């Protein structure tokens, strides 16, 4: 049994397929003299990132297996700290003008070959160590996002297992091929977790070294509700989870009775419930789950898995498929939000030390006006039914909104010259950076709506990398600073007479739903299948009571006090609604026993 982070609810009993790292194709590219400095810096950054990964592995090994076992990683670090390695690669870049990846490849291949004449045991160990270092550093010297492949072709629906999966790779699989995700790394708020929830794929992240303990074809039980994975379960495990799958499915069916009911509180407050989608094909699911529109269409997925940018006509057709199909329901489409862990092969994007705070999102679009204008023109063409909202992401201040609107107006003028009528389209800003919160009143005066991206707002406010498992416990949606920021945004929007929506993952957690509603949020946007659960919660409470509870929560000074207060006020109500298994399933405790693999033997241990 492996315990990880419950990232997407649901249960799966299925065989596994392992994802492995692809072999790198190293291209020998000659660079210009004036590019050597940037390539040397690129190489140094790659080494630093690899050393950080190795140091983390060493620390984890000390904790899990002891200091003696961790010494292998000390030797890896010593190799990467060897001045002769660094100086030799820099010399190949500076003097021979090779690109960083090929220069490192040349040096490491020569080093590996030098051990060919060593004694067998020593030779094999050193070659294995050097190849591991070789692959780890080259991973950071490659801009290829698709550097993981499935070990074998998928012939039946499986649980995908491996160290990590990028959003790009997950989107390449056909619907139904992937029943679940069980990954060594990742967090509940990573983009892959968000996609898994959106695609209704149960997922467990942060499982440590699960991928080293399974083989393709092993039977797994994956419990995405509680964060548990069981390898090669016995009949008792299987029967227990078959019953839980039945309970889970029955609860989902019961929630469908909410589909056609209004999301309105007991005292008459209407809360719009929108759906998040990644592909235009998902538009048909929106109304079937009782959504009142699309609050976030992540347009960047149109750009993934291709070597060239999508044309204006391709984009217009995709956007029109959503706006026309859902007319008259509102559709909010976010402009290109690439960068971070969502790299585009069709756009030259250099590796950055901190890509989540780097050249991404609206920054990329404002620099690459050619890409931005093509998308905006496609959006304007697709808004001919009058139900389109365009949202600009990662706004940090007034200047970015004004520049975005100027480019939008330029697009309108150019389209009029083509004889295209310009429909009424609402423009909005996504507030997800603390600087934007501090000037939100000024931003609100310049837009038609605000949307709060809580995933990044929490990350940037608390200085917590949500993908870092070491500090994942510090990612606190109910931190007082986060809640006060949200209240500031809501008050600014209402002062300007415009609505405010929350479209982060926070909104689909029941306690957070009630807290946000009490803070005055007008609209929620979430993965489609969470909407009916959210609707049931909203219909069970009084708005005035929720406002009073949220006001009291704002006065508290720490996260634990806020969570304790919210549980005291709401837990009994949530459990009474019969949806508690979507939050946690206490009956399936991980304290029964654990399975531990030691020297290729599975041992059954009490915990």
Q: Could you tell me if residue 107 is inside a domain?
A: yes
| Better-predicted residue by pLDDT, 203 or 605 | 203
pLDDT-above-90 percentage for the chain: 47
Residue finishing a domain among 236, 254, 272: 254
Residue 345: what pLDDT?
55
φ/ψ of residue 461, rounded to 5: -70, -40
Q: Could you tell me if residue 114 is inside a domain?
A: yes
Residue 172: what pLDDT?
65
Q: Could you tell me if residue 601 is inside a domain?
A: no
CATH number, domain at 101?
1.10.274.10
pLDDT-above-70 percentage for the chain: 82
- Interhelix angle 120-140/67-80, rounded to 10 degrees, is 70
Q: Do 245 and 277 share a structural domain?
A: no
Helix (H, G, I), strand (E, B) or coil at 26: coil
* pLDDT above 90 for 191: no
* pLDDT above 90 for 341: no
Question: What's the domain range around 381?
Answer: 264-543
Q: Could you tell me if residue 560 is inside a domain?
A: no
Q: Do 86 and 219 share a structural domain?
A: no
Residue 70: what pLDDT?
65
> Considering 365, 501, 503, 530, which one is annotated as catalytic?
503
Q: Do 172 and 52 share a structural domain?
A: no
* pLDDT above 70 for 349: no
* pLDDT above 60 for 29: yes
Residue-wise pLDDT for 468-513, tens only, equals: 767 878 989 999 999 999 999 999 999 999 999 999 878 888 899 9
Q: Do 278 and 230 share a structural domain?
A: no
Task: Name all contacts of 401-408 with Cβ < 8 Å and 24+ positions apart.
Answer: 401/429, 401/443, 401/446, 401/447, 402/446, 403/366, 404/335, 404/362, 404/365, 404/366, 405/446, 407/366, 407/369, 407/372, 407/373, 407/376, 408/376
Residue 256: what pLDDT?
81
Q: Do 385 and 483 share a structural domain?
A: yes
Residue-wise pLDDT for 575-600, tens only, equals: 777 664 444 333 333 333 333 333 33
Residue-wise pLDDT for 235-282, tens only, equals: 999 999 998 888 888 877 777 888 889 999 999 999 999 999 888 888
Residue-wise pLDDT for 360-393, tens only, equals: 899 999 999 999 999 999 999 999 999 999 999 9
- Burial label for 465, CB within 10 Å (0-12, 13-18, 19+), is middle
* pLDDT above 70 for 61: no
Lowest mean pLDDT among 188-202, 488-502, 561-575: 188-202
Q: Do 445 and 370 share a structural domain?
A: yes
Q: Could you tell me if residue 550 is inside a domain?
A: no
Mean pLDDT of the chain: 83
Q: Do 321 and 193 share a structural domain?
A: no
CATH number, domain at 317?
3.20.20.60
> Considering 191, 365, 411, 479, which one is annotated as catalytic?
191
Instruction: Provide the number of structural domains found in the chain.
Output: 3
Q: Can you tell me the mean pLDDT for 96-118? A: 82
Which residues contact residue 545 at a Cβ distance below 8 angstroms, ignoring those fewer than 6 apart?
Answer: none
Q: Could you tell me if residue 604 is inside a domain?
A: no
Reported as a pLDDT band with limits 50, 70 and 90, residue 545 is: very high
Model confidence, pTM:
0.67
Residue pair 230/248 in contact by the 8 Å Cβ criterion: no
| Better-predicted residue by pLDDT, 43 or 70 | 43
Residue 116: what pLDDT?
61
For this structure, is 191 an active site residue? yes
Q: Do 217 and 283 share a structural domain?
A: no
Q: Could you tell me if residue 594 is inside a domain?
A: no
Q: Could you tell me if residue 471 is inside a domain?
A: yes
Q: Do 297 and 246 share a structural domain?
A: no
Q: Do 132 and 45 share a structural domain?
A: yes
Q: Do 90 and 195 share a structural domain?
A: no
């Amino acid at each position: 049994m492996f315990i990880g982070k419950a990232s997407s609810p649901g249960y799966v009993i299925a065989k596994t397929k392992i994802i492995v790292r692809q072999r790198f194709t190293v291209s020998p590219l000659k660079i210009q003299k004036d590019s050597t400095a940037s390539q040397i810096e690129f190489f140094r950054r790659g080494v630093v990132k690899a050393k950080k990964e190795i140091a983390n592995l060493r620390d984890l090994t000390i904790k899990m297996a002891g200091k003696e076992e961790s010494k292998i990683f000390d030797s890896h670090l010593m190799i990467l700290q060897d001045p002769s390695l660094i100086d030799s690669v820099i010399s190949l870049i500076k003097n021979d003008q090779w690109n960083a990846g090929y220069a490192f490849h040349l040096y490491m291949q020569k080093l590996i070959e030098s051990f060919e004449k060593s004694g067998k045991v020593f030779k094999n160990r050193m070659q294995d160590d050097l190849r591991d270092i070789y692959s780890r550093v080259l991973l950071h010297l490659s801009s290829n996002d698709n550097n993981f492949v499935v070990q074998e072709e998928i012939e039946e629906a499986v649980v995908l297992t491996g160290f990590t999966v990028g959003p790009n790779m997950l989107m390449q699989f056909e619907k139904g091929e992937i029943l679940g995700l069980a990954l060594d790394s990742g967090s509940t708020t990573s983009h892959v977790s968000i996609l898994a929830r959106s695609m209704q794929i149960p997922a467990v992240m942060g499982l440590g070294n699960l991928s080293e303990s399974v083989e393709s074809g092993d039977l797994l039980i994956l419990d995405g509700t509680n964060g548990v994975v069981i390898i090669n379960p016995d009949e008792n495990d299987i029967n227990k989870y078959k019953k839980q799958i039945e309970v889970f499915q029955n609860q989902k069916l019961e929630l469908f009775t909410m589909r056609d009911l209004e999301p309105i509180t007991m005292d008459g407050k209407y809360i719009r419930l929108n759906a998040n989608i990644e592909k235009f094909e998902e538009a048909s699911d929106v109304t079937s789950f009782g959504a009142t529109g699309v609050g976030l269409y992540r347009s960047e997925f149109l750009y993934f898995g291709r070597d060239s940018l999508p044309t204006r006509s391709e984009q217009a057709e995709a956007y029109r498929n959503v706006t026309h199909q859902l007319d008259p329901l509102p559709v909010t489409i976010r402009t290109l939000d690439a960068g971070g862990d969502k790299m585009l092969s069709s756009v030259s994007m250099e590796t950055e030390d901190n890509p989540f705070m780097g050249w991404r999102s609206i920054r990329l679009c404002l620099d690459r006006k050619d890409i931005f204008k093509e998308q905006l023109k496609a959006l304007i063409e697709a808004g001919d039914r009058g139900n389109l909202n365009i949202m600009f992401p990662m706004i940090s201040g007034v200047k970015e909104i004004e520049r975005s609107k100027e480019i939008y107006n330029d697009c309108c003028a150019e389209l009029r010259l083509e004889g295209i009528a310009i429909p009424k389209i609402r423009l909005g800003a996504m507030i997800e950076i603390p600087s934007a919160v501090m000037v939100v009143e000024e931003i609100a005066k310049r837009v038609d709506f605000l949307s709060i991206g809580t995933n990044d707002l929490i990350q940037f406010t608390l200085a917590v990398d949500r993908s870092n498992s070491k500090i994942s416990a510090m990612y606190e949606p109910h931190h007082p600073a986060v809640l006060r920021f949200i209240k500031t945004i809501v008050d600014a929007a209402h002062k300007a007479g415009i609505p405010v929506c929350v479209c982060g993952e926070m909104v689909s957690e029941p306690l957070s739903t009630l807290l946000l509603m009490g803070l005055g949020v007008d609209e929620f946007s979430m993965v489609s299948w969470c909407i009916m659960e959210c609707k049931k919660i909203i219909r069970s409470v009084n708005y005035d009571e929720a406002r009073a509870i949220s006001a009291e929560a704002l006065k508290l000074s720490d996260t634990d006090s806020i969570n304790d207060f919210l549980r005291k006020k709401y837990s009994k109500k949530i459990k009474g609604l019969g949806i508690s298994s979507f939050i946690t399933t206490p009956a399936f405790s991980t304290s029964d026993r654990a399975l531990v693999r030691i020297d290729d033997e599975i041992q059954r241990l009490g915990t």
